[in-house]
A and B are shown apart, each in its own frame.
Chain A
């Protein structure tokens, strides 16, 4: 099978999965107790007004008509209107995407930059202090709930160390809601040459990104370590060593490259954990992303908004997984032969 064919097959599967996701979300709303009209205008409202509202939101139609409408809307990018604010769900979702992406990407960068070298060092110095340190760190990292880690980081940096940091370093990590997005900050920098906004953004994102990234740092460290140890035992390593190629080159060029393939696969599978982690990290840090909005929607039982966010997250998740598969297929041609 060529890579093109393989991708088409994966895309078709992805479409099927998204349809499944939309159907599950619709079914969940259909079995959900309570009259949606109550949520929109309140239980005390005039029956006439409630009828009007039901009419307006299409809640009087038979269930299959609602389903077809719903799927049609989703396909055309129309996610309906929020019960609570009457705004378009599509807008409410899209305006929150950048903040979540910033957080997820920052966390991933932190994780990869720290974890890969740490894993390599750990594997090359097996059973030495550096290895024990890395192993302990990664055990703690995969065992710590990130919302608690976030609170402890706030406690440490934004409460205990705030004054000393201001005095000696001239900056500290702010506690409040982020004031400027990455995009705006970059635009300001490019158009006016003012870097202050970007620095503010960096100070705001540091603690949330560490919070979200720690679990992944720990996991990638473990994967890199065990993957490298497996690879070290293979004949080609002995052969390259025998040829006199420097250890550093063997380690980083040959062994690490072969280790990356399983790491990428597992990372693709763990993206759900990253997104789930983002939801809860955003709540802790009051970060204005999708997760923050999802929790608000859940608390208000705002179904259209909740469905919109969840379908959007699933869509992103499926697309990223297809991208990971494509990357995997280019790295390892055996995949497409399955």
Chain B
């Protein structure tokens, strides 16, 4: 899939720089968090009510804050101390912030990987056909792509969710389903609509790259040779052109995972994602409580930042080693 020359580029890039290693470690940690969430979480992330006796949320370990409570018809200032039970404190309705951080990784990674995968499946065949056939087919298909590009991706995503709503479905979690771990959710909500929507608004970037590759290889000798041996256009496209176009697609896919994670978090921040166990949603929860409970928004945001940095570091490494001339969409948020 990746030519030898580029493979040695990859190895060299990895050996000589600290950044790809850092990216790999970060991404591995986040994936472990996502996969083993029921093991790592200290509390059920959806359980509410972890509040002190006055109904105040706990601050992160080692910090405290003052707030006012009503007592005998008067406001009295009280100091709320942290508890070792809740490492990163609890949110406004008393959910454990650390456990939600761990579980939030699942939503981000699932949507990031599945959404990007789906975008590749739509965009790459579209681009290959467009670039390989050329002429009027290409013209018509590129006008469709232009139309898609005329929408900012977040705006189109919002419009699509406005129409189709935002449904999700539960994926059973083997760790909890078979009784290996108690007290954790038995399934993880995959925001299905959002996954499809992010693919629908980002596939066109893959189409552009695949088209360019198909155009550049369609007159190569091996394609002519295959044609002269009687291979059909489809055989040539998917057996010969596709494998030779994959390198830039891999690079773009990596960059796009970062963009999709940001897009998903924006949608759930705005309340359109169909799941409430997501970093973006948790950030919006803390919005009204900034003055005292700053951690409710800050913690999940750091989750997003680290996840996106991890993916971007790997993306930079792949891009530098494999293909310096690629344009992705970027953050969207």
User: Which of A18, A276, A279 neighbours the largest number of chain B CB atoms within 10 Å of its CB?
Assistant: A276
Interface locus among B6-14, B99-107, B148-156: B148-156
Give the interface centre of B258, B308, B309, B333 by most chain A CB atoms within 10 Å: B333
Query: Nearest 10 pairs between A and B by C-beta?
Result: A276-B154, A20-B147, A148-B301, A272-B152, A143-B308, A276-B152, A275-B152, A143-B309, A314-B150, A32-B163
Question: Which of B262, B297, B327, B329: most chain A Cβ within 10 A?
Answer: B262
The stretch among A115-123, A149-157, A183-191, A192-200 that forms the contact with chain B is A149-157
A275 to B305, CA, bound (A): 21
Beyond A145-B333, A151-B283, whether A21 also contacts B151 by CB under 8 A is yes
Considering the complex, which residues of chain B in the window 266-300 have a beta carbon less than 8 Å from any beta carbon of chain A?
266, 269-270, 272, 280, 283, 286-287, 290-291, 294, 297-298
Q: In A251-303, which residues have CB < 8 Å from any B CB? A: 266, 269-277, 279-280, 283-284, 294-295, 298, 301
CB <8 Å contact, A159 and B287: no
Q: Which chain A residues lie closer than 8 Å to B146 at the CB level?
A: 13, 16-17, 20
* Chain B binder among A23-31, A41-49, A90-98: A23-31
- A21-B147, A276-B152, A317-B151 given; name 11 further pairs at CB < 8 Å: A25-B159, A140-B309, A145-B262, A145-B266, A151-B286, A266-B327, A270-B329, A272-B149, A279-B158, A280-B333, A313-B151
Inside 8 A of B269's CB, which chain A residues have their CB?
145, 147-148, 280
Q: With an 8 A cutoff between CB atoms, is A53 at the interface?
A: no
B90 in the interface (beta carbon within 8 A): no
B286 → chain A closest CB, angstroms: 8
B265 part of interface (Cβ distance < 8 Å): yes
15 contacts between A and B (CB under 8 A): A17-B143, A21-B147, A29-B163, A143-B308, A144-B308, A146-B333, A148-B305, A151-B286, A219-B330, A272-B329, A273-B152, A273-B153, A280-B154, A294-B158, A317-B151
User: Does A145 lie within 8 Å of B153, measured CB to CB?
Assistant: no
CA distance A301 to B152 in the complex (A): 20
- A142 interface contact, C-beta 8 A: yes
User: Could you tell me the distance in whole angstroms from the C-beta of B302 to the nearest C-beta in chain A?
Assistant: 9
In angstroms, how far is the closest chain B Cβ from the Cβ of A310?
A: 6
Determine if A294 and B155 form an interchain contact, defined as CB atoms under 8 angstroms apart: yes
B151 touches A139 (CB 8 A): no
A279 with B155, Cβ < 8 A, contacts A16-B143, A152-B298, A317-B150 known: yes
For residue B255, which residue of chain A has the nearest CB? A142
Main secondary structure of the interface of B (DSSP, over half): helix
Please name all residues of chain B whose beta carbon is closer than 8 Å to the beta carbon of A277 when the two chains form the complex: 154, 331-333
Report the separation of the CA atoms of residues A215 and B291 in the bound assembly, to the nearest whole angstrom: 26
A210 at the interface (CB under 8 A from B): no
A21 contacts which chain B residues (CB < 8 A)?
Answer: 147, 150-151
A270 and B330 CA atoms in complex are apart in Å by 7
Contact B162 A273 (CB under 8 A): no
Q: Which of chain B's residues has its CB closest to A274's CB?
A: B152
Asked if residues B301 and A24 are in contact (CB atoms below 8 Å), the reply is no
Q: Which of A154-193 contact B (CB under 8 A)?
A: 154-155, 159
Q: Is A134 an interface residue (CB 8 A)?
A: no
Known: A142-B330, A154-B290, A306-B162. A13 touches B155 (CB 8 A): no
By the criterion CB–CB under 8 Å, are B160 and A20 in contact? no
Determine which of B147, B160, B294, B329 lies in contact with A17 in the assembled complex, contact meaning CB atoms within 8 Å: B147
Q: Does A228 contact B (CB under 8 A)?
A: no
* Majority secondary structure, A binding face: helix
Q: A273-B152, A310-B151 are known contacts. Are A151 and B287 too (CB-CB below 8 A)?
A: yes
Instruction: Tell me if B290 and A142 are in contact (CB < 8 A).
Output: no
Nearest CB to that of A272 among chain B residues? B152
Report yes or no: A155 in contact with B294, Cβ–Cβ below 8 A. Answer: yes
* Total number of A residues with any Cβ neighbor in B under 8 Å: 52
- Chain B neighbourhood of A25, CB < 8 A: 159
Q: Which of B143, B161, B270, B298 contacts A280 (CB 8 A)?
A: B270
- Docked complex Cα distance between A313 and B266 (Å): 19
Whether the Cβ atoms of A147 and B283 lie closer than 8 Å is yes
Whether B304 is near chain A, meaning CB under 8 Å from some CB there, is: yes
Beyond A148-B304, A266-B327, whether A301 also contacts B162 by CB under 8 A is: yes
**Residues of the B chain whose Cβ atoms lie less than 8 Å from the Cβ of A148:** 265, 269, 283, 297, 301, 304-305
Complex Cα distance, B330 from A50, in Å, reads: 45
Q: Does A318 contact B (CB under 8 A)?
A: yes
Q: Using Cβ atoms and an 8 Å threshold, which residues of chain A touch B312?
A: 139, 142-143
Contact between A306 and B159, CB atoms less than 8 A apart: yes
A-chain residues with CB within 8 Å of residue B331 when the two chains form the complex: 142, 145-146, 215, 273, 277
Say whether B333 contacts A17, CB under 8 Å. no
Contact A20 B333 (CB under 8 A): no
CB-based contact A159/B291 at 8 Å: yes
Residue B30 CB within 8 A of the other chain: no
CA distance A309 to B146 in the complex (A): 19
Nearest Cβ on chain B to A197's Cβ, whole angstroms: 28
Query: Which chain A residues lie closer than 8 Å to B151 at the CB level?
Result: 21, 272, 310, 313-314, 317
Nearest A residue to B161 by beta-carbon distance? Answer: A298
Check B290 against A13 for contact (C-beta < 8 Å): no
| Distance in angstroms between the alpha carbons of A215 and B333 in the assembled complex | 8
In the complex, are the beta carbons of A317 and B301 less than 8 A apart? no
B78 within 8 A of A: no
Given A20-B144, A151-B287, A276-B153, is A140 in contact with B305 using a C-beta cutoff of 8 Å?
yes
Beta-carbon contact of B297 and A151 below 8 Å: yes
Chain A minimum-CB-distance residue to B292: A159
Rounded to whole angstroms, the CA-CA distance of A155 and B154 in the bound complex is: 25
Which residues from chain A contact B287 at a C-beta distance below 8 Å? Answer: 151, 284
Q: Is the CB of B143 within 8 A of A159?
A: no
Bound: A24/B151 CA distance, A = 11
